Structure 1
Amino acid sequence: MATKASPPNLHKSVAISKGYNFASTWEQNAPLSEQQQAAIASLSHAVAERPYPVNLAQDHHMSGQENGGLTDTAEDTGFGESKAIEAVLVNTNQFYKWFTDLESAMKSETEEKYQHYVSTLTDRIQTCDDILRQVDETLDLFNELQLQHQAVATKTKTLHDACDRLVVEKQRLIEFAEALRSKLHYFDELENISSNFYSPNMNVGNGNFLPLLKRLDECISYVESNPQYAESSVYLLKFRQLQSRALGMIRSHVLSVLKGASSQVQAAIRSAGATTASVSEGVEASVIYVRFKAASNELKPVLEEIESRSTRKEYVQILQECHKLYCEQRLFLVKGIVHQRISEFAKKEALPSLTRSGCAYLMQVCQLEHQLFNHFFPSSSEEISSLAPLVDPLSTYLYDTLRPKLIHETNIDLLCELVDILKVEVLGEQPSRRSESLAGLRPTLQRILADVHERLTFRARTHIRDEIANYIPSDEDLDYPTKLERSVEVKSETTSDDGNPDVFKAWYPPLERTISCLSKLYRCLEPSVFTGLAQEAVEVCSVSIQKASKLIAKRTTAMDAQLFLIKHLLILREQIAPFDIEFSVTYKELDFSHLLEHLRRILRGQASLFDWSRSTSLARTLSPRVLESQVDAKKELEKSLKATCEEFIMSVTKLVVDPMLSFVAKVTAVKVALSSGSQNQKVDSIMTKPLKDQAFATPDKVAELVQKVNTAIQQELPKVMAKMKLYLQNPSTRSILFKPIKTNIVEAHIQVQKLIKAEYSPEEQTIINMVSIQDLQTELDNLL
């Protein structure tokens, strides 16, 4: 029985395992829906319940009903129908046989039930295997369907990608075609533009002219920037020919309009009964400018178009030609008027008034012309060179009128006035006006100013040479101190009247002319030019004053000459101090003095003329040396003033204390002789005497020289101080000059006083009667 049950169990286990694996794989690869899962759960419950065999199901059901569900009797097992039960048992053997049969019947009944159940399970397992096999086939079909689906999807994606590539390629080709069409369009425009430009109805006033010109410029720019295209040079040449024709048409149109405007202006002037040269100011303003301005409206579109393209050289050239044509027509109209006005100024007015009036009139004309030019050429009106062909000839009329007068002008004051007019009134006022309208006039004005500077410099040098360096003084110029005394008298009288004395009359004329000339030139000339003139003027003025001092020394006294020189040198130094310049000038000159020695050596054969490797070569031999020398007129003036002051101090010192100085010198000589130890007995005997026993140093002699010095201090020194006061009005100057004189006098008294105290007795000192140093200083201080 166990052997019979083995195959079904094995089959069952294989079926269950396979079913489980299939269910797991199916669950993973193809999840079931909720309805499918519910069906499988129902099937599981149905299989899980073991049904009774058919032959036992009724019996079990019926016996269960009769016995309350109990099956323990023999009838329940079906043995009631067995013949073995009905057998009659006689003996034990029969019993055992009966029992054995009964047991066999029971076992048979029991196995039949289970066999039937096993058979049922086997059928169902077979059914499940069939189902699983069908499921496997279905899965295989699904796998094959999935592979087919993937293949279809791959082919579909490939088809889509190919379609996308074709769409992109189509778009690229369309764009390329459009780009090619746009590039070819520039070349195709040649025929269209040519036919329009060569049309008999085409002119600058036509509304299509400017758009065609703009399109032509675009085509030229494109062809120029793409020279790699085939036949681009040919097309560029043809385009440029069309452009030249168009620009020529513009030039002809501008010239025609400008000439028409000029003709209208001339006709209006003739109708007013005047000529171009004699037109009045009212007609000038209303006709020449107002009527000519109307022509700008006709030319403005074309000129604005040209100015907007002024970055291209072709349009720069045509714009310059239009400027030139405009200036020629304007010059033709206004040159006669300007020339007439300036000629009238030249006939009626002096040089300063002519300069002022002529410049003012020219500035007015330039401003009006610039305003009119701005109506025609608004974008290029700020360029100075645009109106140069018009402004330069007009300003040349004024320059040609002024220059001959400037060349012959000799008055330095008038030339300085012209400089002020040009620098302050004319050029100085331009920033306050429209500077761009007067900028074209500035070169001519600066040229006139340069000519005035040149003429002024020449006249200043001539003035310095003739009026200062070569000045010949008169007797009145050298009449010192009388001239100063008269000046003091005039000063006292004038002070009582108006308090404004003429101090310059007391100066030496070259000094007055030097200061006057430099003060006029200081603001009129450039600093570099003025420095050279100032250095020259100060130098020659100082020399002239020194010459006059020598002449005064011959006429009067040396002291008057010294004080004259000190006075004028101090005034010169004081007057040039405000000039903020350096009075030093470096002179450069060529020195050929070394050439003579080189030539001698060459002639003696000691050097070669063509030996370029040595210093005696031809180049070095014939090359001059540049010598530089610096002259500082201010330092030379200080040196001369210092030397003169020292000379005056020594002369006054000698005038007052010369006896004392001679006495001290003799005493010093005696002491030097004693110290030298002379062997001459006669001299030795003299030298060994006491100082007071010497013939020149007796008390009486010393008293006499002391008295002479006291007399000089009381009589001569006040005269000197009076002269100093006459020549030097400044008390501080006199004090500075007198201080070393006082020091010298006091020092001489101190030396003599020391000798007297050392060599003479008190009685002898009383005889000498020398004044004390304190009293001497008080007396000298009172002189100031």
Structure 2
Amino acid sequence: MYEDSSWYSSFAPEFQHRRAPSGTGSGSGHRRKESLLQQPNGTGDSADASEPLPVLFEDHEDNNSPPEPTLSRRAKSYSDFYEIVKAQLGSTDQQQQQLKKRRRKRTDRKWEALAVPESAMATLSLEEDDTHQVDADLDKTLLQASQQEFLLYHDQLAMTERHLGTLMKDANSALKVLESLCQSFRAVDDQTSSFQARCDDLLTEKKRLQTLADDVGTDLHYYAYLDNVSRRLNAPGAGRLVDDDAFADVLSNLDSCIAFMTKNTTYRDAESYLARYQALLTKALHLLEVGFTNRLNKVSTEISKQIAATQSESARHALAYGRFEEMVLESYSLIPNIQIVMRSVYDQYGHPVSGLNHDIYANTAINLFHAYWVVRDRDLKPLIQHDLDAFRAEAKASIETSARNFVKQSYERSYNEASLFRKVFSIEPQYSTDPKSAFTALKSQQRSLVTGTNIAPIASNLQSVLHGSDLRTVCNIMGWITNEYLIEYDEDESPFVSHCREITARLLHEHLWTFTDAFFEAEIAKSITKAVVPPEALKIGPVTSNDVSSNAFPLVKKAIELLVMFDQSMPKERSQRNSPIIFSLLRESIAALHRAESRIKSSKLTSATTDADLFMIKNLLILKNELVTLEIGDIRNNVSLGTQSVSGRLREMQHFSQIWETLRPLPSTLITGIWSRVGSIGGGLSGYIPSIPGASSLWSRSSTPVSSSEANAKSNSAANAGGGNVDVHEQLDEELRASIVSFTKRWAGILVEAKTASTKLGGKNVAKLERELDETLERAFTGQGEVREKLREAVKMHVDAALEAMERERAGPKGGRGSSVTRV
């Protein structure tokens, strides 16, 4: 605002370029500048105007007058304003420094102003009147000289005040104009509010109509698409459409149209259009089936000729898998379109997915599977027949070796087929019992080719070779398959190992385990149930080679052998819990022991050398020990394979605790010591009779003894019934308990009778009977001294109990009390 100085020139034009008069003398540099607002003195004497003032009246530079006003340049921007302020502050500092320098220079000269020069004194008039006139003029001149700069500053401030007042008036008038405009706008807004509301309503209606038009256009699209797709699918070259990307769009649009017509059944002709769209979808999928079949036949024609022309196994393998895959996948969009159809029916693992057109797509998928496997069976038939011929020829030399090679070769072929199938159809069928799954659809199409879903050819070929072999060979092969592919595995296993594991589990569960069980049942019937036992086998012979089971019953030895074979050929989950084979084996073994016991008791020759009860105790203990050694738990005849109830697990933990529950008259320390210390018996019987946890509580179960005949009858009926919830462990415990009770009670009775009436024994005394008991126990349990001692102790405690009861009976009448004698 102040950069333009024209407004200032109008007020003092004659002083703008005026300079101070040049005075004479040496003190001109210390005088005050002439004011720009000073008016000329008219036509005065030039000599008086130029006459210098006395030095005495000069103003000192160190007065406290305000600084000379300056006019700053107007800032155009914020950065420019910063530069102006910086320059102004710098100039102010420079002026202050110059002022300080001048003050220091004039410090020594301040008294010189008081000295009046002689020339000035000479000019002064000595007259009094003249002196007063001169003083008045000098005062006036000094006042003007001292105030001229302040008057100029005062005039500038007044001028600025007037200018600012003008600006305030202009701003007030502008504010009044703006207020009037604002009021006018409010009036206009009030007047146009109804118009604006109508415009909003019109815009809303426009959007509604636009949305309705779009919806109508979309709905019309589902109707209008019928003519387009009908022309494309009924055209003469419609078969080429399946090898184009546009076929996927056709399927997608047909699905959308069918979904729309299904959802909006109230629309005009919706049912008619729905039926026509479904027919067109079926026609499109049929074109896909035809195109895929033609493609497979074309590839098969070339591959089959090349396979028949070569004799190299590696070349045949490369043609059957590598070349076939390359030629099938050469199509532009045929295989991708097939994969789209498959993923509309199944997920990645072959499980069914829900969809509106699931049935139509599922039927097409089954037809595609059928066409594919027909071609693969036809192309690989020479390779399969060659492998079977080699397998049968090798089986004549070694069945086990040929079976292992055949299984490995079949697994490799199955993995290759699964990989090729996954690349063509983009799914990997997993085992499933869902009737709508891909696994069920593929399994129903049984072929001679081994695949991930069809493992029947492996089982049928193995069974045809193993049918005439012995049980040992079958068990060896089953054990090898189980250990090789089912038991040992790594967490980071390869896809091939995982595939082999899945096939092995299904192969064993669905085919080979049933086949092996039939072999075992036949062997049990032949070797145990229908076996002929010679009389000399009923005797307990001497122990050979320090083997405590060497003098066991031959049928028990055979049963143990079959138990070991079954355990080695089967996984622990199948052999340790509720196996029907083990149940049948133990049941028939117990029945054979009962038949042998009956023969021993009925034959005088055999009974004289063999104690029937010791015969049963020894052989039952051997069976029981073998079950514990093989960790065979709850075995029942009415529970499905691989299951185990809670009660069965509890009985497994205390399977021996039931043996002595009816032997309450015996002290608990005797039986506890037998079963807790028998594990240290020498002669190879380590672990022969396992320790019983909680055996001290055996005597709190029952106080009613069971006779040997009752126990035998009960066990025989349970073993021969073949029905009901029968546990083999419980049956063995019952038989063992009955035999121990019968043996100890019988010998205790003999010894008690010998001690009370020795004359009735025909000269036999007690010592001789004890030696006979020791010989009998030694013959049965050679090398098992602790077992013999415990049995002797049990007999002795029975005798002591009987004698004590007899003493109380004889002392009864003297004490005035009566008692009944319990005969042993």
- TM-score tier by shorter-chain length is 0.5 to 0.7
Residue 339 of structure 2 aligns to which amino acid in structure 1? E
Distance between the aligned counterparts of 2:193 and 2:798, measured in 1? 129
1:373 aligns with 2:421: yes
1:296 aligned onto 2:329 = yes
**Is it true that 1:649 corresponds to 2:687 in the alignment?**
no
Residue by residue over 1:408-456, the C-alpha shift from the partner in whole angstroms, topping out at 9 and shown as x without a partner, is 55x3333433432443334547995534577567545433224324413
The aligned counterpart of 2:146 is none
2:344 is aligned to: 309
Per-residue deviation, residues 389-417 of structure 1 (Å, max 9, x unmatched): 677533443333333455555x3333433
1:519 maps to which of 564, 567, 577: 564
Shift of 1:509: 1.3
Distance in 1, matches of 2:598 and 2:441, equals: 61
2:483 corresponds to: 424
Give the alignment of 1:259-278 within 5 angstroms: 259-272=297-310, 274=311
> 1:769 is matched with which residue?
none
Q: Does 1:737 align with 2:788?
A: no
Distance (whole Å) between structure 1 residues aligned to residue 500 and residue 773 of structure 2 = 69
What is aligned with 1:326? Answer: 372
Q: Which amino acid aligns with 2:299?
A: A
| AA of the residue aligned to 1:447 | E
Following superposition of structure 1 onto structure 2, how do residues 694-733 of structure 1 map, counting pairs within 5 Å?
Answer: 713=767, 717-718=770-771, 720-729=773-782, 730-733=784-787
Structure 1's 651 and 549: CA in aligned 2 closer, same or farther, altered over 3 A?
A: farther
Given that 2:745 and 2:798 are in contact with CA atoms closer than 8 Å, whether structure 1 keeps it comes out as no
Query: Would you say 1:339 and 2:360 are equivalent positions?
Result: no
After superposition, the Cα gap between the structure-2 partners of 1:216 and 1:437, relative to the gap in structure 1 and judged at 3 Å, is: farther
Partner of 2:159: none
Amino acid at match of 2:313: E
Q: Quick one: structure 1 residues 728 and 161, their matched pair in 2 at CA, closer, same or farther if it must change by over 3 Å? A: closer
Matched, 1:358 2:406: yes
Going from structure 1 to structure 2, the CA distance change for 1:508 and 1:212 (only over 3 Å counts) comes to closer
Tell me if the contact between 2:448 and 2:457 (Cα under 8 Å) persists in the aligned partners. yes
Cα-Cα RMSD: 4.3
Q: Name the one with the larger helix percent.
A: 1
Aligned to 2:95: none
User: Corresponding residue for 1:767?
Assistant: none
Q: Residue 443 of structure 2 is aligned with which of 388, 407, 417?
A: 388
Aligned to 1:580: 632
Q: Distance in 1 between matches of 2:638 and 2:279?
A: 64
Q: Against the structure 1 CA distance between its residues 571 and 340, is the aligned structure 2 distance closer, same or farther, given a 3 Å change threshold? A: same
Per the alignment, residue 735 of structure 2 pairs with 637
Contact 1:566 1:644 in 2 (8 A): no
Aligned-residue offset at 1:330: 1.1
In 2, Cα distance between equivalents of 1:567 and 1:652: 22
8 Å CA contact 2:549–2:622 kept in 1: the answer is no
Quote the residue 2:518 is aligned against: 455
Q: Does the 8 Å contact 1:258/1:326 carry over to 2?
A: yes
Q: Give distance in 2, aligned partners of 1:585 and 1:366.
A: 37
Q: Where does residue 256 of structure 1 map in the other structure?
A: 294
Cα distance, 1:462 vs. partner?
A: 0.6
Q: 1:167 to 1:636 in 2, by over 3 A?
A: closer
Amino acid at match of 2:344: R
Is 2:213 aligned against 1:173?
no
Match of 1:402 among 462, 472, 491: 462
Residue 746 of structure 1, CA deviation: 7.4
Offset at residue 731 of structure 1 (A): 1.4
What's the offset of the Cα at 1:662? 6.2
Q: Distance in 2 between matches of 1:448 and 1:345?
A: 19
Is it true that 1:216 corresponds to 2:216 in the alignment? no
Equivalent pairs, count: 501
Instruction: Judge conservation of contact 1:471–1:510 (CA < 8 Å) in 2.
Output: no
Give the AA of the match of 1:393.
Answer: S
Q: Tell me by how many angstroms 1:336 deviates.
A: 3.5
In the TM superposition, what are the counterparts of 1:377-776 in structure 2 within 5 Å?
Answer: 377-379=425-427, 381-382=429-430, 383-385=438-440, 387-388=442-443, 393-394=448-449, 395-409=455-469, 411-428=470-487, 432=493, 434=495, 435=498, 439=502, 443-463=506-526, 465-466=528-529, 470-475=531-536, 477-478=537-538, 483-484=541-542, 487=543, 491=545, 501=546, 503-522=548-567, 524=570, 527-530=578-581, 532-547=583-598, 549-550=600-601, 553-555=604-606, 557=608, 563-578=614-629, 580-582=632-634, 632-646=730-744, 649-650=747-748, 653=751, 657=755, 659-660=757-758, 713=767, 717-718=770-771, 720-729=773-782, 730-742=784-796
| CA shift in 2, pair 1:330/1:390, >3 Å | farther
The unaligned stretches of length 5 or more in structure 1 are 1-148, 275-279, 492-500, 588-625, 664-704, 756-784
Counterpart mapping for 1:771-782 below 5 A? none
Q: Cα distance 1:399–1:430, how it changes in 2: closer, same or farther (>3 A)?
A: farther
Q: Determine the C-alpha separation between the residues in 2 that align with 1:750 and 1:214.
A: 99
The 8 Å contact of residues 342 and 365 in structure 2, kept in 1 or not, is answered as yes
Cα deviation for residue 346 of structure 1 reads 2.3
> Are 1:191 and 2:191 counterparts?
no
Separation of aligned partners in 1, 2:439 and 2:503: 5
Partner of 1:71 in structure 2?
none
Change (3 A) 1:162 1:565: closer
Tell me if the contact between 1:399 and 1:448 (Cα under 8 Å) persists in the aligned partners.
yes
Give the match's secondary structure for 1:393. Answer: coil
The structure with the largest alpha-carbon Rg is 1
Counterpart Cα distance in 2 of 1:400 and 1:257: 33
Q: What amino acid is aligned across from residue 190 of structure 1 in structure 2?
A: L
Q: Distance in 2 between matches of 1:151 and 1:233?
A: 62
Write the letter of the residue equivalent to 2:558: R
- Is the contact made by 1:323 and 1:387 (CA closer than 8 Å) also made in structure 2? yes
Give the match's secondary structure for 2:290.
helix
Cα 1:339–1:228 shift into 2, 3 Å: same
Contact 1:546 1:565 in 2 (8 A): yes
Contact 2:597 2:615 in 1 (8 A): no
Structure 1 pair 655/342, CA: closer, same or farther in 2 (3 Å)?
Answer: farther
- More displaced stretch, 525-534 vs 171-180: 525-534
The verdict on how the C-alpha distance between 1:570 and 1:644 changes in structure 2, with shifts beyond 3 A counting, is farther
Residue 325 of structure 1 deviates from its aligned partner by 1.4
Compared with structure 1, are the counterparts of its residues 451 and 563 closer, same or farther at alpha carbon in structure 2 (3 Å cutoff)?
closer
Equivalences for residues 65-104 of structure 1 within 5 A: none
Distance 2:367 2:807 in 1: 102
For 2:563, give the aligned amino acid: L
Q: Secondary structure of the equivalent of 1:266?
A: helix
- Give unpaired runs (5+ residues) of structure 2: 1-184, 346-354, 431-437, 450-454, 640-721, 810-824
Shift of 1:229: 1.9
Contact 2:485–2:500 under 8 Å retained in 1: no
- Note the alpha carbon deviations across 1:714-766, whole angstroms, 9 max, x for none: x66445434432332311111112224545777899999999xxxxxxxxxxx
Say if 2:601 and 2:607, in contact at 8 Å, map to a contact too.
Answer: no
Distance in 1 separating the partners of 2:798 and 2:262: 98
Measured after TM superposition, the shift of residue 376 of structure 1 is 0.6
- Rounded to whole Å, the distance in 1 between the matches of 2:192 and 2:300 is 84
Tell me the distance in 2 between the aligned counterparts of 1:555 and 1:168: 114
